[in-house]
Amino acid sequence: MKMGIRSKRAVVFVAAALGFADAACAEESPPVVLSLPSEAALAERGIVTFSITNPTDENMAAVSLETPFAIADDRLANPEFEVSDASGRELPYKGRQVRFGPPEASTFLLIGPHQTLSKNVDLGSDYDIREGGAYKVTYVKTLRLLRGSGVEKIKDIGPEEEIPLQAVRSNTLTIWMNDALMTGASVYRSRRVAEDAFAVCSPSQCPTSGSDVSADSLFIVRRHVHPVANRRSIESFGSTTHRRST
């Protein structure tokens, strides 16, 4: 059966329209922005400010264990950033490597409509930055996100629950490391007695900074053990700020 030129154009038009409709229905990714902290000395030590925004009119909840909010200090639980030097060479991650149990209600990071959450991250201690100079930093991660009515089901979430995935990528930030201020990173490197040593603990054995952790979660921490924060400790630690975007 032959198809006329007009019919072919109609098919192309319909296909294009369907494509635009699919794009319009796509879930909007939460913008992640990296910026320099207001205090210059922090920036020159390799500390950056991580901010995530809910751009929608509905509540949003991310699994905090996959974000810089996982642990109640400026350090990461796992590699989440791409860091490269002035020559473009990507620097390896040297920080903690934590294996978390399945997410539960207390491990979700709640973000209200048009709200922004921010936290400082000490990249100078977690990546193999050995000298001063310029470095480029990008946050690249696939997050598990719940939106709208899905957020209301958090309290009933089970270990086998499938949570929608959302690829997230931030801006690329250039930071300048100052040799004279890199004491934190150098001290951290000097503490590495056994490069491949692992510590294993259950929540009952690990200190938890006054927060509750599920008894059936297991945490394997590379090189040293550190408490894992749940939602309540995330809300309380000082380096986290909550603000609404204008």
The pLDDT tens digits of the residues spanning 11-31 come to 344 344 344 334 333 567 789
- What pLDDT is attached to residue 174? 97
Tell me if 3 is assigned to some domain: no
Each residue's pLDDT tens digit, 191-226: 433 333 333 333 333 333 333 333 333 333 333 333
Q: Determine contact, residues 69/116, Cβ cutoff 8 Å.
A: no
- What pLDDT is attached to residue 53? 96
| pLDDT over 80 at 145, yes or no | yes
Longest dimension (CA), the chain: 77
Q: Tell me the pairing of strands 133-147 and 115-122.
A: unpaired
User: CA-to-CA distance for 68 and 109, rounded, in angstroms?
Assistant: 11
User: CA-to-CA distance for 140 and 143, rounded, in angstroms?
Assistant: 10
């901010």: which residue's tokens? 51
Tell me if 21 is assigned to some domain: no
Residue range of the domain that includes 144: 27-244
CATH at 230: 2.60.40.2970
**Residues facing 168 on adjacent strands:** 141
Tell me if 17 is assigned to some domain: no
- What pLDDT is attached to residue 14? 38
User: CA-to-CA distance for 9 and 129, rounded, in angstroms?
Assistant: 56
Domain tally, the chain = 1
Q: Determine contact, residues 116/244, Cβ cutoff 8 Å.
A: yes
If DSSP codes are grouped into helix, strand and coil, which group holds residue 64? helix
